[in-house]
Amino acid sequence: MSSKLDRRIKYTRLALQESFIKLMQEKPLTKITIKEVCELADINRSTFYSHYKDLYDLLNQIEDGIIEDLNQTLSSFNHTKNEEAIQMTETLLEYLVKNHESSQTLFSENGNPEFQQKVMMLAHQHLLNVLNADKQNLPINAEYLSLYIVNGSIHVIQHWLKNGVKESPKEIAELIITLANEGLSPFQQ
């Protein structure tokens, strides 16, 4: 009985989350109503309130799930090896492709800037740990370097998502790691 209930809860939450993301593709959060989300999900308002306090709670739960997934992925790799850095970045990009609709929406202009900041700070902290472990080989302050790499990478990923993920995750991962490790020199000939 409980697994049947769990499936219904998962289905309801998924339907509400997908409907909310679809509406966020069309307009900013401040213009979306609970009524619209419920109508699109074909779920009544009382059911919505049994799962979420409001739209901000719904958004936070979606964002927290993504942050948790990204953190687990980042934590599972050895960032100091170039091959693993490419593989880790490719894995993150594959996750974004698999969750393209929500990822593209959350990283768009209608997305929550606080979520984007959380993603950047998560990546910054992981990269900073790697850079600090290799501090003696760094010509500059690790914190500045990490911020520079993360911000550039996030903007590359936002552009890639916005333009329909035309390149493969592997191609974008290799580009990001090459830019992070070697700057523009490999591209200047």
Q: How far apart are CA 164 and CA 113, in angstroms?
A: 21
Could you give the residue ranges of the DSSP H alpha helices within 76-168? Answer: 82-98, 100-106, 113-133, 142-162
Instruction: Using alpha carbons, select from 156, 149, 145, 43 the residue that is nearest to residue 107.
Output: 156
pLDDT in tens, 112-125: 888 888 888 888 88
Nearest in space to 158 (alpha carbons), one of 110, 88, 87, 91 = 110
Domain residue ranges of the chain, discontinuous segments joined by +: 1-52, 58-187
| Residue 167 pLDDT level (bands cut at 50, 70, 90) | very high
Domains 1-52 and 58-187 share a fold: no
In sequence order, which residues have a C-beta less than 8 Å from that of residue 37 and are 6 or more positions away? 16, 19, 20, 23, 48, 55, 58
8-20: burial string, b at 16+ Cβ within 10 Å, e else: eeeebbebbbbbb
What separation in angstroms does the CA of 36 have from each of 15, 18, 20? Answer: 13, 12, 8
Topology (CATH level 3) of domain 58-187: Tetracycline Repressor; domain 2 (1.10.357)
**Topology of the domain comprising 1-52:** Arc Repressor Mutant, subunit A (1.10.10)
> Mean pLDDT across the stretch 20-33?
93
Range 41-63 average pLDDT: 95
Quote the pTM value. Answer: 0.80
101-112 pLDDT, tens digit each: 888 888 888 888
Which of 33-42, 81-90, 171-180 is predicted least confidently?
Answer: 81-90
Q: Can you read off the two tokens belonging to residue 152? A: 């550039």
pLDDT for the residue 4? 63
State the Cα–Cα distance between residues 104 and 97, nearest whole angstrom.
Answer: 9
Residue length, the chain?
189
Instruction: Residue 6: count other Cβ atoms within 10 Å of its Cβ.
Output: 10
Q: Which one, of 74, 72, 83, 89, lies nearest residue 128 by Cα?
A: 74
